[in-house]
Homo-oligomer: A and B are copies of this chain.
């Protein structure tokens, strides 16, 4: 069993991961994306360990002690540690994408409201320059589909729905009335994609208020 987060001095890689998580939480809080105790944040270290926020607590005021270690099955590596209920969704991303190094989950007003404005299983983004921040995108003249899954307190069940579409998500996914999941090879890239997605959802919400219909994709893929 790892002693990771108890040995910061002796474990600079863990300390760096914890620090990246603390800073990401502060940033997400400044943007209003982690209200109350919402959201969770993780990093995968080069050696495969996963550093993840503990269950509960405000993500804008984290310190290194609020970051715990889990394995790829989401099991805490130290007795008594309680990971977030949504740990499985983080681990699913790491399991599916060998290059994923950081996962962010936040709750914004725009993501919440837009996903509740339709029963559709996907939204799409198009014609925005900022789309280029997403995986493999080189032009605004494209359509990026963002799957929307119904919220479910049974995370194992939710993760099975997500699994079917995971390979084709350029910009992450949305859980209806709940929030977004975004990832990247590094925390900086994951944060840039989160900001890009939230910016575009904020634009879409304004456009719906101007009378433009919600842009619904026929299918998730």
Interface, chain A (partner B; CB < 8 A): 32, 35-38, 58, 107, 109, 112-113, 116-117, 127-130, 133, 138-141, 151, 153, 175-179, 188, 191-193, 195-196, 198-199, 202-203, 205-210, 212
Contact = CB atoms under 8 A, between A and B. Distances in A.
A3 B155 CA distance: 52
Given A36-B195, A113-B210, A116-B203, 18 more contacts: A35-B199, A36-B133, A38-B129, A38-B130, A38-B133, A38-B199, A58-B188, A107-B129, A107-B199, A112-B128, A113-B203, A117-B210, A117-B212, A129-B175, A129-B177, A129-B178, A140-B151, A205-B206
Contact of A113 (B138, B140, B207): B207
Contacts of A129: 38, 107, 151, 175, 177-179
A53 to B, nearest CB: 15
